[in-house]
Structure 1
């Protein structure tokens, strides 16, 4: 096969597992996350022979989410492996987050021999292809080892083309262990270069620019669909040429330079304009940003649909106009689209009015209401002030993974204090807690030059805290901060807002005040400390940042303050004719009181 030289292992025949590993290596894979299972041994031996690094986790969900985190930072397909049925079942939450958040990952699993189908054999109950179909872009079972290159290259390209997402291939155990008939190998496109990505229609670019030129208050809003070095370079070129302020969805932050004069902070800042008596944007240019929960839902608080033109560019045509009227919709690769717009602006330049740029970029400097709050509440640290001290003590350029409910909300408020190179809202579109452990792991492996900050609430910390063992075994530069108030903050505060003080019941919303995350972290080989005083934070964070390996802070804070985001999501009202529906729009009573 031109461009692909098979490597014959010493002391054994070339097996399906070897061929699988060598195919992945040919496609550019250098790392795979997972947990050992005997079904996969032939593949794991092949990885060792091919020079693919194997990073073993303590839970399969985390392995899949580590592949996600790796993909987010590295900008290429993340690979993971899970063993048959039991391991595969644990991988399903990772597949669910990857399909929802458009993460390009490749999940490798195995199954019993094909001849043992429907015999109640070991780890053979689930049909893994059938189960994974709704959660993947492509799911398949290989039945001949010689077909591995064709199917692997197809799956890999499917994960990373068009709308990115997860793929899964099931390799029955005998396919991995069987010798390969090299003369019968179906190579497929294993050595072909990636196809050229789709570009925007010139007519669409012309229509969009006509709206942009006519606007007096345009704003660019970007999200995770606008990542990568080339896209970032082209984005800055376009923003600077047109002098248009750039806002970012809380879903993904970076890699835009935070100190750039056109950087206007989170898209949620646009919601402040009516409250300060200023006009709202009359055009929003959405780049790889989806409407929905991260853009104010259907409230119109961020995208004022009636008074604002909307241009939306996305690789997925089904996202354009999903919940808002769109004036110009463009299906395109983001870098290709930005380059087309840059070329058009060069030939017909224009710029945004300076007074709007000054107003838009000033919004991120609006003082937080929490700045005025007491730093201590009932002798415990206010979570806002505690996290502000943590983030202020970090060296600029970290990668920030934000997990938890209110712990994540307080952190998002303070995001720019940390001056991160990028950040993830780890709960994603599913709102799944605990993802941050895997995302932090994948990010640390993808970029070992940066410190990874893994923010957790004490609720989300309970899901995958044992991964601190993984961090220690692989000597990863991850600082885990558990924001610990002994309750499920968003849950208990939501109950308070809905049911008030007259009903003191707060079912299943409290946690243990005796749990010592710092002690557990120490047992896993992490440097650790419990902090309950503001004056101890800076020195501890700086000391742990110099540690060669992982560390953990058990940050004891008050459970009393309710984050404003919780209030906004619950939307409590005294109107007797409305039914409060927490986290969604309230609905009218079917009958009036």
Structure 2
């Protein structure tokens, strides 16, 4: 047993949990922790981001890419509040992050002291748990519990706020190994039997895969289930890579910008098996008309998600990998030849397509797929480019598509791709951004340059807020209120000014060469791709409409 300062206890607890990388920004109240980190800089790498929000997103990207807990640090007041959007992003997508902040000395709490904010109170609705540590004797156990809560059951972010005098105080410390996480399994044998029975009764089954399948590490079990059920499979934005994008059973994404095959197939099926998916409004459209011909079987680790958005006919609550292992053992090999032929016809009749005459984001994504042999980790910001990245790159494994799904955070991608590259240095890590998103986070290019982190930032520059403009075109009479960004900003000059390499692409034949060059440089590179302002993401389902009313550019031309 050793006598250590509170700050040293924080660092020792991080080492206990296997933390090798943290992202953050120092300040007055957290100085003791940074001093302790300095003494352990050979064991824990600290990445100084340009803004605390970048640190939160980097911790999130690290967690998504590796499956480990991401860690970010910030000082009190504005430092802590700058983490809030990143914490909320992680919360909506069930990403394990521990945010450590420090606050003013205990006697100054509640007195509107300089840079004092009740960050534990602020983040209470957007964390699994938030702590404030005022007693050094509780510090180590609180940090250990924070990591356990972040990882166990349905993962998510946890905040630990520590008063500065606790970090300065001295207390005994004894090393502990991390404990086992609770699985959160609540199912019974009857639940498994009911699930197997429903699957065996179905004539037209469809599997719908969400982010829980990625978190659980259940991709092999999902693929085995699809084979045993002889069923087509669609996914959500968060479920990318669970099914191999090249698999003939895979029908693409479901929902507002899902494929016609997925949306029509789910609308026609007689059993929908939801695996680690929460029936988000962007997936179901009009909830009253969603999969109205089907019985619903939902498997999820969080009992609160059962019957929350869509009524189920049966459910199994627990870890997806564990549950599917049991179901797969009980299921005989099934055959649904006629149903699969119908789905195949839909795929042939309604393929994803785009205008191939000029440079476009779908073409760029196909080239990235080709140049990287589909092995890149793709990160996105939020907007049209996010949907195109989900549609046109064929993800063959989980944790290769990282995106803000639930919160839809513009500015997420650049911090997240830095985190992903720190966690997966052997992979090519590429962020797909819109010009509107880059304006929110371009300061993090300086972070990548400072550490020479070889990330690739592909900017799809259409000089507008593309997704909002698409809605204005289709539903707001082309009144482009505050969505035109055609000004004097030169992203290549900005990138070079912040210490990165930059390449501008304006023609299709330049794309593959630019991507290849960026990979070869082994340093941070921005590739600006200039595309037309009115390119649109199709297919599309209008907000509130049933997903069976999915339409694309061809349908609009027919109406015109």
Q: TM-score if structure 1 supplies the norm length?
A: 0.84
Do the aligned partners of 1:494 and 1:566 also contact (CA within 8 Å) in 2?
A: no
Map of 1:43 onto structure 2? 33
Shift of 1:256: 3.6
Question: 2: CA distance between counterparts of 1:274 and 1:339?
Answer: 25
C-alpha distance 516-55 of structure 1, shift in aligned 2 (>3 A): same
Query: Tell me, what secondary structure is at the counterpart of 1:226?
Result: helix
Question: 1: CA distance between counterparts of 2:544 and 2:461?
Answer: 22
1:162-311 to 2 correspondence within 5 Å?
162-182=153-173, 191-198=178-185, 200-227=187-214, 230-268=217-255, 272-273=260-261, 280-298=268-286, 303-304=290-291, 306-311=292-297
Question: 2: CA distance between counterparts of 1:205 and 1:415?
Answer: 35
Question: 2: CA distance between counterparts of 1:284 and 1:437?
Answer: 36
Question: 2: CA distance between counterparts of 1:290 and 1:277?
Answer: 19
Do the aligned partners of 1:106 and 1:167 also contact (CA within 8 Å) in 2?
A: yes
1:395 aligned to 2:373? yes
> Computing the radius of gyration over CA atoms, which structure comes out larger, 1 or 2?
1
Question: 1:376-431 deviations in whole A, cap 9, x for unaligned?
Answer: 3xxxx344445444444333211111223222223333122x76764446232122
Map of 1:441 onto structure 2? 418
Give the alignment partner of residue 335 of structure 1, picking from 321, 327, 343.
321
Q: Can you give the 5+ residue segments of structure 1 that lack an aligned partner in the other structure?
A: 1-5, 572-593
Do the aligned partners of 1:204 and 1:330 also contact (CA within 8 Å) in 2?
A: yes
Question: 2: CA distance between counterparts of 1:525 and 1:329?
Answer: 52
Question: 2: CA distance between counterparts of 1:112 and 1:274?
Answer: 53
C-alpha distance 274-45 of structure 1, shift in aligned 2 (>3 A): closer
Map of 2:519 onto structure 1? 545
Question: 1:494-542 deviations in whole A, cap 9, x for unaligned?
Answer: 22333426xxx42211113432111211222222111111121111111
Q: Can you give the 5+ residue segments of structure 2 that lack an aligned partner in the other structure?
A: 546-560
Shift of 1:281: 1.6
Do the aligned partners of 1:400 and 1:423 also contact (CA within 8 Å) in 2?
A: yes
Map of 2:305 onto structure 1? 319
Higher relative contact order (CA 8 A, sep 6+): 2
Question: 1:471-502 deviations in whole A, cap 9, x for unaligned?
Answer: 2223323211111111111222322333426x
Map of 1:17 onto structure 2? 7
Map of 1:351 onto structure 2? 334
Question: 1: CA distance between counterparts of 2:193 and 2:56?
Answer: 42
Map of 1:31 onto structure 2? 21
Shift of 1:367: 5.7
Question: 1:341-373 deviations in whole A, cap 9, x for unaligned?
Answer: 12322xxx13131343354467556664643x3
C-alpha distance 85-246 of structure 1, shift in aligned 2 (>3 A): same
Question: 1:10-64 deviations in whole A, cap 9, x for unaligned?
Answer: xxx7211111111122122222111122322322343444512212211111211
Do the aligned partners of 2:61 and 2:402 also contact (CA within 8 Å) in 1?
A: no
C-alpha distance 132-250 of structure 1, shift in aligned 2 (>3 A): closer
1:356-505 to 2 correspondence within 5 Å?
356-360=339-343, 368=351, 370-371=353-354, 373=355, 375-376=357-358, 381-416=359-394, 422-424=399-401, 426-500=403-477, 505=479
Shift of 1:558: 0.5
Question: 1: CA distance between counterparts of 2:353 and 2:247?
Answer: 26
1:508 aligned to 2:482? yes
Question: 2: CA distance between counterparts of 1:164 and 1:263?
Answer: 27
Over aligned residue pairs, what C-alpha RMSD do you find?
2.8
Question: 2: CA distance between counterparts of 1:228 and 1:323?
Answer: 21
Do the aligned partners of 2:244 and 2:397 also contact (CA within 8 Å) in 1?
A: no
Q: TM-score if structure 2 supplies the norm length?
A: 0.89
Question: 1:129-169 deviations in whole A, cap 9, x for unaligned?
Answer: 22121221211111122211211122211112222211111
Question: 1:259-302 deviations in whole A, cap 9, x for unaligned?
Answer: 3444333235986359989982211111101102342332577x
Do the aligned partners of 1:450 and 1:477 also contact (CA within 8 Å) in 2?
A: no
Do the aligned partners of 1:274 and 1:280 also contact (CA within 8 Å) in 2?
A: no
Question: 2: CA distance between counterparts of 1:154 and 1:431?
Answer: 29
Give the alignment partner of residue 161 of structure 1, picking from 152, 163, 182.
152
Do the aligned partners of 1:281 and 1:308 also contact (CA within 8 Å) in 2?
A: yes
Query: Tell me, what secondary structure is at the counterpart of 1:497?
Result: helix
1:92 aligned to 2:80? no
Q: How many residue pairs were aligned?
A: 542
C-alpha distance 507-238 of structure 1, shift in aligned 2 (>3 A): closer
Do the aligned partners of 2:66 and 2:399 also contact (CA within 8 Å) in 1?
A: no
Question: 2: CA distance between counterparts of 1:31 and 1:448?
Answer: 12
1:112 aligned to 2:104? yes
Question: 1: CA distance between counterparts of 2:130 and 2:414?
Answer: 26
Query: Tell me, what secondary structure is at the counterpart of 1:286?
Result: strand
Question: 1:171-214 deviations in whole A, cap 9, x for unaligned?
Answer: 111111222245xx7x8x86533335425311011011111001
Question: 2: CA distance between counterparts of 1:438 and 1:364?
Answer: 36
Map of 1:121 onto structure 2? 113
C-alpha distance 524-395 of structure 1, shift in aligned 2 (>3 A): farther
C-alpha distance 71-61 of structure 1, shift in aligned 2 (>3 A): same
